[in-house]
Amino acid sequence: MSTIRDVAKLAKVSVATVSRVINESGYVNVKTKQKVEEVIEELDYRPNDVARSLFKGKSKMIALFVPDIMNPFFPELARAVEDITNKHGYTFILCNTDNDNKKEMAYMNALLQKSIDGMILVSNTMTASQIKDTKVPIISLDRKTRSDLISVTVNNREGARQAVGYMKELGCKRIAHIAGPDSASSARSRMEGYLNEVQEEKWFSNSFIRAGNYSIDEAYKVTKTLLKDNPNIDGIFVANDLMAVGVLKAAASLKIKVPDELSVISFDGIKLGETTSPALTTMAQPIYHIGKRAAEILLEKIEKPGTVIQSEEHQVQLIIRESTREKRLKE
């Protein structure tokens, strides 16, 4: 690799001049500029980003923290963030945290040592004190952390409400809820929305709520007992699509027909929900879009430190597929 000095020597100018042409900063004579560019071409010179970073204290890298990229909700988010950061000339770093605060902090410190320019967090465990003395821009995505971070989220509560409302319209009389992990703000909000819609009903009972953890297997298990304990349930609002897959499996194993005997609606709108059978009716998040917005906001904060930015809450949208159906009233 040739350095700026090599270029300078060959072009018979100083490194300062070379620096000026590659950065298009300051004055430089047209002819010398030309000469320098020729030499750069000839030597196939590329500036060393590490040296640049050292000088500037910035690395042109941003990181995304997700619990686990193998959870199908996150690839789309990651893709969005990568696309945007890449377009702005930043390098994208992916960190799987397994919701483990230790891991999160380890990553964070490692990245800080690398002069990371900003981070986007999908996290429940990060506390305010852990990030308070960090001066690099950080924003929260999909969830709200226990801190005052700017966040890009979705109207979980209202979306949940609409989902449950839709099931009521369909004629469901006993609607259960498979909840997400209580540690996730999104899960708590969805539960709230469910309760808002259902708490006043005379049929409602706390036993209609079962705790899942946003994973298929756990949802399968709890749904099975739920349905055994309460055979009269005719609708389930599931806190995310992934768990709904488990719910579908549980229903199938109990020979309960979806949607004929049981309507299932969930949340997220991941691709996976289109391929199940029946395909999932769901409240779809604009996943790519919120990832995009998070990245855009972060870059804004990085590149113009002065500007104030605001949290954003985006809208979800009901997508009706095959797992819900209007109940036929007995005549």
Partner DNA sequence: TTGTAGGCGTTATCAC
Partner DNA sequence: GTGATAACGCCTACAA
If the CB atoms of residues 191 and 222 are measured against a second copy, the closer one turns out to be 222
If the CB atoms of residues 12 and 271 are measured against DNA, the closer one turns out to be 12
DSSP classification of residue 28 = -
Per the DSSP assignment, residues forming a β-bridge with 282 are 266, 319
Residues 33-72, mask of contacts with DNA (x by CB under 7 A): x-----------xxxx--xx-xxxx---------------
Match 């992934």 to its residue by tokens: 242
Which of these segments, 26-34, 136-144, 268-276, 312-320, binds a second copy (CB under 8 A)? 268-276
Which of these segments, 77-85, 119-127, 154-162, 222-230, binds a second copy (CB under 8 A)? 77-85
Does residue 1 bind DNA (CB under 7 A)?
Answer: yes
CB of 183 to DNA, least distance (A): 35
Amino acid at 9: K
Does residue 96 bind a second copy (CB under 8 A)?
Answer: yes
Among 114, 173, 228, 257, binds a second copy (CB under 8 A): 114
CB of 57 to DNA, least distance (A): 7
Task: Rounding to the nearest 10 degrees, give the CA dihedral for residues 7, 12, 16, 19.
Answer: -30
Distance set, CA 253 to CA 50, 52, 105, 168, 257 (Å): 57, 60, 42, 25, 10
If the CB atoms of residues 14 and 48 are measured against a second copy, the closer one turns out to be 48
Reduced to 3 DSSP states, what percent helix, strand and coil does the chain have, rounded to the nearest 5? 45, 15, 40
Looking only at the bridges linking them, the beta strands covering 317-319 and 281-284 are antiparallel
CB of 195 to a second copy, least distance (A): 29
DSSP-derived secondary structure for 31-76: HHHHHHHHHHHHHT----HHHHHHHHT--SEEEEEES-TTSTTHHH
CB of 311 to a second copy, least distance (A): 26
If the CB atoms of residues 41 and 331 are measured against DNA, the closer one turns out to be 41
The H-or-E segment that residue 210 falls in is: strand 209-211
Which of DNA, a second copy, none interacts with 15 (beta carbon under 5 to 8 A by kind)?
DNA
If the CB atoms of residues 79 and 289 are measured against a second copy, the closer one turns out to be 79
